[in-house]
Structure 1
Amino acid sequence: MGLSVRKRGGAAGAGLVALVLAAGAAGCGTEKTVDIDPAAAVAKAAKNTEEITSLNYRMKGEVPGEGQIEGTAAMSMKPLAMSMKMEVAPGGASAPEGGEVEIRLVDQAMFINGGEEAAKEMDGKTWIKFDLAALGAGDELSELGAAGQADKNPASEAGFMADAEGVEEIGTETVDGVETTHYKGTITLADLRESLKDEDQETREARETTLEQYEDLGIDKMTMDMWVDGDERAKQFRVRADAEEGPMDMTITFFDINKPVEVKVPPAAETMDLAEMMNDLQAG
């Protein structure tokens, strides 16, 4: 499976997506959310969700420029660390030949496992290291296709739902054995950007990264669904939108909230440092 880097201005990975990607509830809450106004219930759940410190999540859906992706991730907010494994359909920016992509974000560096194909071109090394401080974190992440989802805090993304319009309660549904209340609403990126001025600096910075990635995709309006559990946090959320390179439809489900997350740096002997390689080329 080969890896490729795309230029800024193209479709950044969403994820989930997007991609990049709202946090959820511990997998044991079963009480129904208090019966209050849908908009107020969603706002409270979004706030509670953004206050979590770590989470595990599953993601599944379609990302513009990438196609179908499916994966799992574990993420710690402070310090920021993330471990993600994704199955990517052939033809995407991150893995043109398709297959599994493994990404780790730790100590201000992103590591991408290119597998056997990458090893053929990197003296047997399977990991590529992107030193975000040396290379420019914002630009590098948005050039990495689906890998650009790695610095997304899904808890922040769930917070977008608090600013959605026309929020309505769909009904009670069970997600991963947990009873939840399903809500739905729509929101524009213009409204999201306007709402940033009322947030504290930490929240603004967390949401700004995701907004920029959505803007790079050419998205201006999204439909969002949130499933709220008995702890009044998001157990699951879904984002749908039309982008320049096709539809986006990503669902993220959360579990193991506020449990320890450990992300290990790959062995140095198996890692090619992109910053060092570029410095060597410039020196040569």
Structure 2
Amino acid sequence: MGMSAWKRASVCVAAVTVVAGVTSCQAGDGGTKGKAAEPKVLSRGEATEVLQAAFKKTTEAKSAKVRMTMSMPASMQGMGDMAGAAGDGTMEMTGVQGWDPAVMDMTIKGSDLAGLDSDGPSEIRMIMLDNVMYADMGAKQAAEMDGKRWMKLDFRAIAEEAGSKELQKQITGSLESMNQDPAQQLALLLESPNLKHVGPQKVDGVQAQRYKGTLTFEEIVKGNGSLDFLSEEEREELIANAEKSGVKGYDTEVWVNEDDYPVKMVLGMKSDEGTVDITTHYSDYGARATVEAPPAKDTVDLFEMLQGLGEGLSDIGADAGADV
């Protein structure tokens, strides 16, 4: 396989990293404008009861169709280095997500993806199954990968080979973050000390009730189950580093329809570097999330590719561990 194909493969890895790194830090202040159709506003206790009911129904649904838009300043760590472009960038994800078990079949596209490699694909289909990611690199890239268009990204296998506990923790946390479902987001919102009901509003043509709340970074860390792998000392260090980097906190908004399902979430993280905004629309709760791994004959294993290129996996682990 030529180096150009290897470069495009790195685009895929970068896209996964962007999604994994940001999903666990969702927040935002981008609610829709307009006057509420009805004046009645629920008390905090009533709002809590509604969201608890929504949490229960969403947990039991186990799947939904997803349409997500994520904007992120290029100056922020990770995206800025990968995109190499000034100004805000946007990525869009559409597809299906399942939880219990965690599966995903999404198509990712947007300006930031294109900025990673001008010769790379304009969109990438991502499949997650059994904690393994598969990325469709497209027909053009397949021509340089022995006709195989799918790349397998088994990060846990790479981390284990690298022998780096720090890298393994990073990867475990990233995979858990990618598995964040709307029920988990509702659970976090219920932890907000200033949770409130804003009022009724139409979303995607249906009547819904809007709720909002804010959380500090410390409250997010304590309430986010995907960070359970961290020790108490590592949690304190994570919180301290966030404060040093200027993370100001999180705003979360959710719209719940008359069937007690969240139909929209606006989430974002404010910091000195800028604001990460994520808006997600959900539909078709409970529809079967049929996600299948691509055929092995059409798949290139990134782990084996690294070994073939003579990459020192222990060195990769050491470098990643140094960044923790």
Gaps of 5+ in 1: 22-31, 197-203
Structure 1 counterpart of 2:102, from 56, 80, 83:
80
Structure 2 counterpart of 1:257, from 285, 300, 304:
285
Shift of 1:93: 7.8
Shift of 1:83: 0.3
Structure 1 partner of 2:67: 58
Structure 2 partner of 1:13: 19
Structure 2 counterpart of 1:122, from 142, 145, 157:
145
Question: What secondary structure does 1:165 align onto?
Answer: coil
Shift of 1:152: 3.2
So what's the TM-score if we normalise by structure 1? Answer: 0.72
Shift of 1:173: 1.1
Question: What secondary structure does 2:105 align onto?
Answer: strand
Question: What secondary structure does 2:221 align onto?
Answer: helix
Structure 1 counterpart of 2:198, from 170, 173, 187:
170
Shift of 1:89: 1.0
Instruction: Give the residue type in structure 1 aligned to 2:132.
Output: A
Shift of 1:168: 2.6
Over the matched positions of the two proteins, sequence identity in percent amounts to 25
- Using a 3 Å threshold, how does the CA distance of structure 1 residues 176 and 259 change in structure 2: closer, same or farther? same
Structure 2 partner of 1:28: none
Q: State the distance in 2 between where 1:14 and 1:158 align.
A: 19
Instruction: Give the residue type in structure 1 aligned to 2:198.
Output: I
So what's the TM-score if we normalise by structure 2? Answer: 0.65
Please say if 1:68 is aligned against 2:87. no
Structure 2 partner of 1:26: none
Structure 2 counterpart of 1:272, from 268, 282, 300:
300
Instruction: Give the residue type in structure 1 aligned to 2:217.
Output: L
Structure number having the greater helix percentage:
2
Matched residues, number? 258
Please say if 1:238 is aligned against 2:260. no
Structure number having the greater strand percentage:
1
Please say if 1:186 is aligned against 2:192. no
Query: Which has more radius of gyration?
Result: 2
Q: State the distance in 1 between where 2:183 and 2:272 align.
A: 26
Q: State the distance in 1 between where 2:95 and 2:116 align.
A: 17
Question: What secondary structure does 2:297 align onto?
Answer: helix
Gaps of 5+ in 2: 1-6, 28-37, 74-78, 84-88, 160-167, 313-324
Structure 1 partner of 2:255: 227
Higher relative contact order (CA 8 A, sep 6+): 1
